[in-house]
Structure 1
Amino acid sequence: MGYVPDVEALRLLRAVFETGSISAAARERGVTQQSASARLRAMERSLGLELLLRSPHGVTATPAGEVFASWADDLLHAADRLETGVDQLRGESGRELAVAASQTVAAHLLPHWLVTLRTTQQAAGRPPTEVRLLTANSADTCERVRSGAASIGFIESPEPLTDLWSRVIARDELVVVVATDHPWASRDAVGLDEVAATGLVARERGSGTRRAWELVVEGRLGRPPAEPAIVLANAAAIRSAVAGGLAPAVLSSRVVADDLRLGRLARVAVATEPILRPITAIWRGTARDLTPVARELLEAARAA
């Protein structure tokens, strides 16, 4: 056939499948909708295949489009590695690193890792890397790594990932906390079943903290926990709501360490094994596809 792939058209196609819209894919790739549509149609003509079913409600992949896209992923990963390699040859790979991290990691772990990275680079006589931090929940962090918006990500969700390379670098304990005048604060221990049956102050779906708690309850009790009493956007809001007596919460021991030390919250002993979750580094490709500076950050995190 002699077809020479248009890499940017392949990236557009992947973005269309991810977003379900040519206009959204065009915005993601930084081109106009007209240009994106023309490029995709040109690729379909070159292939002699219909890849997309277009309708007023959006676009979906044809069976041929799904197969073609799965084959194209290998080529796109190779193109990404080529671009990274060229940047390294130009000496540009160490100038900036985009890092996506879930909230607990970004607030309580990443700052120390970045100090370690900077110290290591300065000791080697190299200019420190400029790090651009993208903070989100664990699910959104995965999406930013998948899209290439971040070179490496750090998440708290314990669920395995099949499309990203991952490495566990630390463990984090989840604890139950309440207001200091809550009835649980004076009890020797509370059963896991009682906590699981209680509506908690929780993060949104996609949060690593919320998902880790759900999986623990499902695994140990064989049922999901009760629906949250209220859903809030960040740990600071949750801590304030708990301190105000709204409801208990399950949070990282790192997040509530100061509140417990200063007596703003009380930790509840739960009659079960410790609730631990992994802190996991994720990136696209395989172990060898991690950029040198991202590998340095990973080693700083593991050392810490």
Structure 2
Amino acid sequence: MEQHFLVFKEVAETKNITLSAKKLHMSQSSISLQIQNLENQYGARFFDRTNKGVTLTKEGEIFYTHVRSVLDILMNAKEQISALSKGRRGLIYLGATLTIGEYILPNILAYLYRNHPDVDFKVKIANTDSISQDVLEKKIHIGLIEGPVPRHKDLNVEKFWEDELVVVLPYFHPWASRESITLAELPHERLVTREDGSGTRKVMEMALKERGLEPEQLNISMELGSTQAIKEVVAAGLGITIISSLTVRRECDQKIFKSLKIQDAPVYRPLSILTNAQPNAQSAQSKDERLLIDLLHDHRLLSNILSKDYNELDSIE
């Protein structure tokens, strides 16, 4: 029966029996026969057939919703059984956007590895749209994203951290003796930013505009495609930048950088957890996935984890 459901789902999504046959490595006649058997079994026509392909009937749309749920439950059961057969190791499919993936997730994974060594992770680093789509399609079970969150009825969004954007400059800069800066002072220095269209830059420009500073007023001298590239340029004294405080914590401790708060209008952006909101997806969450989500919501513990170097994580209670 599972094979029939898989065939039905593929045809419903491709809307084409020929294409479904190629993807499933089956003959078109076998595909058609399995669809016909399902329709006979349930006493309903699931597809309207035309020369251009097939489309779901109203009965087919109802059946498609239930077939997806059944296949998701069976897939989760297989994963849990597989984990048991491989020595009871857990597996979490996780996605993260770039800043989280590079500067937050490594500490979290290192902490979990030390305290729960029987859990493995498969991690994808990508942009917000890609992570959101994978959560919707259940290719990953938990997504961690920064900044604006896409709205979708099948997405659960939970904020787990507020990330402050700060002004970062080299420790030899004349402003390095200060703790804060005003918005009015920003246009007087060369600014190094992410490329136009990046999430970090969007958040920065929207926040500054809301506080009365138009992006056109900034003296942007360089645009770069990664946070690490920006840090290298700023360390060389070629400008200042506005980036996540989490990305420069170590360099500030080492007195390579000095971070300044924006005193008259601090800028924060949310870091959020994305999970699939469909009831069967929520009920299918494993204990290891819930462990990770609970950790992210434990602000005290998470703060300790993010403030430590890797070799200090063993000391966290």
Shorter-chain TM-score: which interval? 0.5 to 0.7
Q: 2:112 aligns with which of 88, 98, 117?
A: 117
Deviations 1:173-223 (A, max 9, x none): 11122345667668862316956x98642156353x334324423544496
Q: Does 1:202 align with 2:181?
A: no
Deviations 1:75-114 (A, max 9, x none): 4245313321343355368442221112222233223333
Please list, as runs of the form range in 1=range in 2, the aligned pairs for 1:1-304 lying within 5 A after superposition.
6-10=5-9, 14=13, 32=22, 35=25, 42=32, 47-49=46-48, 72=64, 75-89=67-81, 91=84, 94-121=89-116, 128-162=118-152, 163-179=154-170, 189-191=181-183, 194=186, 200-203=192-195, 205=197, 207=199, 209-221=200-212, 230-286=222-278, 287-303=282-298, 304=302
Amino acid at match of 1:191: L
Return the alpha-carbon distance in structure 1 between the equivalents of residues 283 and 150 of structure 2.
20
Return the alpha-carbon distance in structure 1 between the equivalents of residues 35 and 51 of structure 2.
9
SS at match of 2:252: helix
Return the alpha-carbon distance in structure 1 between the equivalents of residues 255 and 46 of structure 2.
67
Amino acid at match of 2:130: D
Amino acid at match of 1:288: S
Return the alpha-carbon distance in structure 2 between the equivalents of residues 51 and 264 of structure 1.
67
Q: Say if 1:119 and 1:70 are closer, same or farther in 2 by CA, change over 3 A.
A: farther
Q: Say if 1:178 and 1:83 are closer, same or farther in 2 by CA, change over 3 A.
A: same
Q: CA deviation at 1:118?
A: 3.8
SS at match of 2:95: strand
TM-score of the aligned structures, taking structure 1 as reference length? 0.67
TM-score of the aligned structures, taking structure 2 as reference length? 0.65
Q: How many residues align?
A: 277
Identity %: 20
SS at match of 1:254: helix
Amino acid at match of 1:171: E
Q: CA deviation at 1:150?
A: 1.7
Return the alpha-carbon distance in structure 2 between the equivalents of residues 73 and 183 of structure 1.
62
Q: Say if 1:70 and 1:206 are closer, same or farther in 2 by CA, change over 3 A.
A: farther
SS at match of 1:99: strand
Q: What is the aligned-residue RMSD (CA, Å)?
A: 4.7
SS at match of 1:255: helix
Structure 1 residues without counterparts, runs of 5 or longer:
55-60, 123-127
Deviations 1:236-276 (A, max 9, x none): 11211333455433211111122333343343442433212
